[in-house]
A = this chain, B = another copy of it.
Amino acid sequence: MTVAEAIEKIKRVGTDSETIYTSYVTDDKKRLIGYTTAKDLLLAKDSTILIREFMDENVISVTTETDQEEVAQMLSKYNFIALPVVDKENRMVGIVTYDDAMDIIEEEATEDIEIMAGMSPSDTTYLRATVFEIFKQRIPWLSILMLSATFTGIIITSFQNKLAACVALTAFIPMLTGTGGNSGTQSSVTVIRALSLGELELSDVIKVVWKEIRTAVLCGLTLAILCFAKILIVDKLLMHNDGVTVYVALVVCLTMALTVLVAKIIGCLLPFIATKLGADPAVMASPFISTIVDATSLIIYFMIASAILF
């Protein structure tokens, strides 16, 4: 076929096609051998040249087995209007266009966000979903995380006597576990998103851990100093809480710094571990991290308290 004949054919069949801006060239066995764009055809100097000579043979295609997220990333990366889909014998079976890719990018982001918030991804929009569908989407993680909080309960119970001896320690538990959870979430969510956008690879794990350690030291020190000042001003001066001694403040602030460090290391490692195991890294986000960090920060807290106070 010549360029002129190709334009004629596009005019004939174009009305019903999804896109006429990219045309794929196949051989007589329907195997994909090249492509050309409407832009190139329109701008062609010589319209009698054969498509075989005219087409670009470096055609990038996806197979019927390719994950939709990967297809969307490719379309976005190369700024293509469409990508051809081939079967195992390189026979062309369809195309994916940029508007499919936009929908996929949005869907996948929503899915990631839902999983990160401890929900199973849903196919329907919120207003269309029934209450029971939303319930089914949310109850599994709520139950799992509630039951896994048994461990934090056991840790507190085993330090019950020491807590009874220094009741002031109890008041700082939510602040410590909360800050630990937030620190871990920041790291895990950053890594999850970067992995999902292809900005990070599995092999970057050492670089990431090292970066998180340095960030954690900066964050941990800042928070520990801020926390010490807060305890002196709010708990000692304003609330006149006599149980809060300088030693208690020291225990809390040391725990704070150490918890932030451990939380950030766990937070950045878990998504890598999930990817390595072939699981979706997004499940490692916020709620899951919080549960692990809750337990870890309590152990750190009680160990430091035992060393300094008792």
Taking Cβ atoms with an 8 Å cutoff, the residues of A that contact B are: 7, 10-11, 14-15, 20-21, 38-39, 42-43, 72, 75-76, 79, 81, 98-99, 101-103, 105-106, 109-110, 112-114, 116-119, 125-127, 131-132, 134-135, 138-139, 141-143, 145-147, 149-150, 152-154, 156-157, 160, 163-164, 167-168, 170-175, 177-179, 181-183, 185-186, 189-191, 193-194, 197, 199-200, 204, 207-208, 211, 214-215, 218-219, 222-223, 226-227, 230, 234-235, 239, 241, 243, 256, 260, 285-287, 290-291, 294, 298
- Of B174, B234, B256, the contact of A156 (CB 8 Å cutoff): B174
Quote the shortest CB–CB distance from A35 to chain B (angstroms).
Answer: 15
| Inter-subunit contact B215/A150 (CB<8 Å) | no
Contacts of A119 in B (CB 8 A): 186, 189-190
- Of B98, B167, B223, the contact of A163 (CB 8 Å cutoff): B167
Q: For the complex formed by this chain, how many copies does it contain in all?
A: 2
Name which residue of chain B comes closest to A233, CB basis.
B150
Contacts of A215 in B (CB 8 A): 131, 134-135, 138
Contacts of A101 in B (CB 8 A): 102
| Inter-subunit contact B149/A178 (CB<8 Å) | yes
Quote the shortest CB–CB distance from A283 to chain B (angstroms).
Answer: 13
| Inter-subunit contact A235/B174 (CB<8 Å) | no
Interface of A is mostly: helix
